[in-house]
A and B are shown apart, each in its own frame.
Chain A
Amino acid sequence: DSGVTQTPKHLITATGQRVTLRCSPRSGDLSVYWYQQSLDQGLQFLIQYYNGEERAKGNILERFSAQQFPDLHSELNLSSLELGDSALYFCASSPSASSYNEQFFGPGTRLTVL
């Protein structure tokens, strides 16, 4: 158990809908990262937050947004869902924003868009 929690574990929804994925980092970690894992794209970095502020952005679609709250949990919002958004979404956390830190991953949320 990495100490990172993600809810829900599974999510099934329809095209055009909006969903919210939630992540709680390990105790003491200030940085949260979101990644998407799909068969065609592999593991792709989406976005990083550090202590409530956006720190780095990767291949995140405009339909997707995220935030990190004062209690350091993070939410990833996916809207106008398309079939191609079906994937495993991971949250990870680390103590700081440094590239030196290993990241500890949550169990993931499997999103299925029908």
Chain B
Amino acid sequence: AQKVTQAQTEISVVEKEDVTLDCVYETRDTTYYLFWYKQPPSGELVFLIRRNSFDEQNEISGRYSWNFQKSTSSFNFTITASQVVDSAVYFCALSEADGGTSYGKLTFGQGTILTVHP
């Protein structure tokens, strides 16, 4: 069965600090997809990134970067020079190809509450 673990329940930083959110996953599938979503105080879930299991290239988008390491089953998310607007709950999620039958259901981690203080 698939599982996503975000061990950090809450992180508190001061503005301009770098912060890394950890995500570890478990799956028996060889083909799977990893996602990060952001849930700001307003409540909606905002898609941030998708990563395929066969693509271990790291990705950078502005102040955001993602480090995918298949060897350790981790997909960590780093925010550089954090800002108050980054305060939100961040979720890591996994979707399996399920042995060839593709279902879109996402398995989410418990989320990490990030608070950025001015």
Please give the residue numbers on chain A whose beta carbons come within 8 Å of chain B beta carbons, in ascending order: 2, 31, 33, 35, 42-45, 48, 55-56, 58, 88, 90, 92, 94, 96-108
Q: Which residues of B contact A45 (CB under 8 A)?
A: 105-107
Chain B 99-117 interface 0/1 with A at a Cβ cutoff of 8 Å (1 = within): 0001111111111000000
A52 to B107, CA, bound (A): 23
Q: Which residues of B contact A35 (CB under 8 A)?
A: 106
- B81: interface (CB < 8 Å): no
Q: Which residues of B contact A90 (CB under 8 A)?
A: 45
Q: Whose C-beta in chain B lies nearest to the C-beta of A100?
A: B33
Check A2 against B44 for contact (C-beta < 8 Å).
yes
> In the complex, given contacts A42-B110, A56-B103, what are 4 additional A-B residue pairs having Cβ atoms less than 8 angstroms apart?
A43-B108, A99-B104, A101-B104, A105-B37
Q: Whose C-beta in chain B lies nearest to the C-beta of A110?
A: B43
User: What total of chain B residues lie within 8 Å of the partner, measured CB to CB?
Assistant: 26
Please give the residue numbers on chain B whose beta carbons come within 8 Å of chain A beta carbons, in ascending order: 32-33, 35, 37, 43-47, 50, 52, 91, 95-98, 102-111
Q: Which residues of B contact A96 (CB under 8 A)?
A: 104
Check B98 against A99 for contact (C-beta < 8 Å).
yes
State the Cβ distance, B88 to closest chain A Cβ, in Å: 14
Check A99 against B102 for contact (C-beta < 8 Å).
yes
State the Cβ distance, B99 to closest chain A Cβ, in Å: 11
Q: Whose C-beta in chain A lies nearest to the C-beta of B105?
A: A45
